[in-house]
A and B are shown apart, each in its own frame.
Chain A
């Protein structure tokens, strides 16, 4: 290899190595935040429903602190290279989105849309080719949400809240109907989607137990 070419290659390489390091630092930051978030949100399984709103409020600032990291990442990524680097933070970002969707469900009982999730995490539309929330990552986060809600259905009954499982059941069935619209290939999303039915089964069993014993108020059953 002639010297000029070798130098050129080394320059390219140094640039990439440098960028990778910087991205890694930010991803570590994001990881720290999402770990704090999931630690806090784990308390929903032991918090009586009445106290959930204050728990949710205490989580919100941590959720919004992710905005600094997403902005830093968007700053780092060169134009048009979003897909080149995105695997580095996919996992952490999915966790952040999962927390955001869980907060939205607990607060309003509804599904946080992709654009809302981007907004919560401060991801701007104009970053599209550098940093964005991809449909795939969003869908992965939704599956984590269902996994978590099936656990919550069980634990809310233990805490004496018999309405929560029924709310969860409606919500998860709607989501499942949504997932059924997709043509999934044999990838990780497909495998995780296949796991949803076990979550639904678990939730259904809780709802069955609760209704059988007439523990839940009848008004909640959808007209």
Chain B
């Protein structure tokens, strides 16, 4: 056999020698892995903060009735934060030249997905549409347009899948705002579209299937709220603008106490509506 041309390892010394080499290689792998996991966590934490910032911005100013102006304000605030996260990816890319990226892909994908969630939320608020694969890849590239690393399709889709949860929150917490109901139904349509698009892709990604269940739940929450409003507004034969005024007056305070908990928020939203209608009764 041609292999016997190269000396095989027959003494303990030579064996120890090659294992020392393996040790260096394994150590390098484990250390790099740890560093990347740490960076990925930093990305996750910054992305989560950014998502909260976006929600806050969309709800903070009750005197601002132009939703578009709020969205632009949110998008403008997001820019520097997104840049901060992109810089983290730039640093990570130095650890991941050539074929190394795919070795560590699983270690950085949690952060990457969270970032895509934040990025796509900011993108939605600004443009009212879903960010494309190529747009995300472009965001993950340096000034010359060279990608930091190839964007895995799975991370792109899973990040977007999380976006639906944020949109549900956004729709429900803005429902008591002026024109919030039409906003909610707009979001509802959008999330419905996302779900339909993703349904086609679920056979290829196991994780996506799980997330689709969550998306379905989010969608149902928005639909329930839309239903409740439709039913109740039909009881009172008043134009939507007048209803806006009534709701606006009664609930403006409770919206401020946004605490990030789904259940509470949903309940509060429901009660706020009831209060609004009771006011109508009193008058």
A-to-B contact residues, CB < 8 Å: 1-2, 4-6, 8-9, 12-13, 16-17, 60, 64, 79-84, 104, 108-117, 119-120, 128-129, 135-136, 139, 173-175, 177-179, 181-185
Contact = CB atoms under 8 A, between A and B. Distances in A.
Contact of A108 (B10, B15, B27, B98): B10
B153 A181 contact: no
Contacts of A81: 99, 102
| A1, A60, A64, A80 — most chain B CB neighbours (10 Å) | A1
Given A1-B197, A5-B130, A178 B19 contact: yes
A177 B9 CA distance: 13
Contact of A8 (B3, B18, B134): B134
Contacts, number: 116
Interface of B: 1-4, 6, 8-12, 15-16, 18-20, 22-23, 25-27, 30, 98-103, 105, 129-130, 132-134, 153, 156-157, 193-194, 197, 201, 204
A185 B30 CA distance: 8
Given A1-B194, A83-B99, A179 B19 contact: yes
Contacts of B101: 80, 83
A111 B68 CA distance: 70
Contact of A5 (B16, B99, B105, B132): B132
Given A1-B194, A8-B132, A111 B10 contact: yes
Nearest to A119: B3
Contact of A183 (B23, B130, B204): B23
Given A12-B153, A108-B10, A181-B22, 17 more contacts: A1-B130, A2-B132, A5-B130, A9-B157, A9-B201, A64-B1, A79-B99, A82-B99, A84-B102, A113-B6, A115-B6, A129-B99, A173-B12, A174-B11, A177-B16, A182-B22, A183-B27
Contacts of A136: 26
A110 B194 contact: no
A2 B134 CA distance: 12
Contacts of B15: 111, 174-175, 177-178
A115 B20 CA distance: 15
A4 B18 contact: no
Contacts of A175: 15
B201 A13 contact: yes
Nearest to A81: B102
A113 B157 CA distance: 42
A184 B22 CA distance: 11
A178 B13 CA distance: 9
B10 A109 contact: yes
Contact of A114 (B18, B98, B197, B204): B18
B153 A110 contact: no
